[in-house]
Structure 1
Amino acid sequence: MRVLVISDSHGEDRLLNRIVEQADCDHVIHCGDFCTDTDRLPDRSLTVVRGNCDWELVPEEQIWEGAGRRFFVTHGHRYQVNTSLMSIKYKGKEAEADIVCFGHSHFPLCEQSENMLFLNPGSITAPRGFPEPTYAVVELKRNGDIRVTYYNPNGKVVSRLGGSYSLA
């Protein structure tokens, strides 16, 4: 199963929809700050949360399950992700998540800690502290392994990000 994880599109719904088409995934997770009306979001299997810049009434947090994995999805601003992952780690544990997806910082991050994978796809419009816009594709393998690949909006692999992970 392939899951597109994207965040901080900040009103660029055409770019968002183009990326969703080119990524050709089974499910889409948007970690907030989509900054457009929800009817302009991709017409796909979609989990979306509200970011600090969104006006639409969508959930602040969501749980999504696919291929035997539990995803906790939030924007991240309520967990101070710009300074530390500690608060979001506690929330991930509480949610019994395998994968914690968040945005807000506009900085791509993928790291495993305490048998959870923490994934920030970066921003497709305005990266901060990283030289190019990014999004991530999570491949959930039948054997339980997880492969995360980052791309720029043109679909080119950003090879210095992502990797393969095994969670118990």
Structure 2
Amino acid sequence: MKIGILSDSHTRSDYTDIVIKHLKKQGAQYLIHAGDLCIEDNLKLLQNSKLVYVTVFGNNDNSLFSLANEYKIKKEPYYFKIKDIKFKLMHLPYYLNADSDIIVFGHTHKFECSYNNGTLFINPGEVCAREKPLSESVLLEINENEYIINYYFRDIHSNNFKKEEFRYER
């Protein structure tokens, strides 16, 4: 199972579109967005991807509250399952207790991943390239005995994504 993970698109629907297309090309079957979409165009991109997706409101998403029923945008922390894997999705990294198999968060605009006491923590970094000239995302591959995290980053002046891979035994 492959899951595309992104966060902090802000107003950069152009970068969001590039990232979603890249994740789909890498085989993503699902999309998870950890908030700060800021504009409806980013929600439309998730919806138009034709993949199953979910997202949460970020601290800059107040203008999107009225769209919650039209798009799959939830209040944080949001718990859900994909197959037998329990996820917790949030924007703000305030609920980082290990109460799910995988915890996805955003807000800091910094990529990080770690595996502690049976819980995988992932922040995919920023799509918007606000803090640095990189547009970032993650493709999480879940296999029977391991998690493979492919961290993708693209300099905004380049068309090519670079990749770093992290593996954790489940």
Which TM-score applies when normalising by structure 1? 0.79
2:140–2:149 Cα contact (<8 Å) kept: yes
Q: Matched residues in 2 for 1:49 and 1:63: separation? A: 11
Q: Matched residues in 2 for 1:148 and 1:69: separation? A: 16
Change in CA separation of 1:18 and 1:133 when aligned onto 2, cut-off 3 Å: closer
Query: Within the alignment, does 1:152 sit opposite 2:153 as a pair?
Result: yes
Query: Within the alignment, does 1:140 sit opposite 2:142 as a pair?
Result: yes
Let me know the Cα RMSD of the aligned residues.
2.0
Deviation, structure 1 residue 23: 1.3
Deviation, structure 1 residue 39: 4.9
Q: Matched residues in 1 for 2:160 and 2:141: separation? A: 16
Query: 3-state DSSP class of the match of 1:51?
Result: coil
Equivalent position amino acid for 1:45 in 2: V
1:149–1:157 Cα contact (<8 Å) kept: no
Query: 3-state DSSP class of the match of 2:103?
Result: strand
Equivalent position amino acid for 1:98 in 2: D
Change in CA separation of 1:117 and 1:127 when aligned onto 2, cut-off 3 Å: farther
Compare the two structures and name the one with the higher strand fraction. 2
Question: Which residue number in structure 2 is paired with residue 103 of structure 1?
Answer: 106
Equivalent position amino acid for 1:56 in 2: L
1:1-168 equivalences in 2 (<5 Å): 1-24=1-24, 25-37=28-40, 39-43=43-47, 44-54=51-61, 55-57=63-65, 58-61=73-76, 62-76=78-92, 79=94, 88-90=95-97, 92-93=98-99, 97-126=100-129, 128=131, 132-141=134-143, 143-153=144-154, 154=159, 156-159=161-164, 162-167=165-170
2:114–2:120 Cα contact (<8 Å) kept: yes
Deviation, structure 1 residue 155: 5.2
Query: 3-state DSSP class of the match of 2:162?
Result: coil
- Which ranges of structure 1 fall in alignment gaps of 5 or more residues? 80-87
Query: 3-state DSSP class of the match of 1:105?
Result: coil
The share of aligned pairs that are identical, in percent, is: 25
Which TM-score applies when normalising by structure 2? 0.79
Equivalent position amino acid for 1:42 in 2: L
Q: Matched residues in 1 for 2:90 and 2:45: separation? A: 17
- Which ranges of structure 2 fall in alignment gaps of 5 or more residues? 66-72
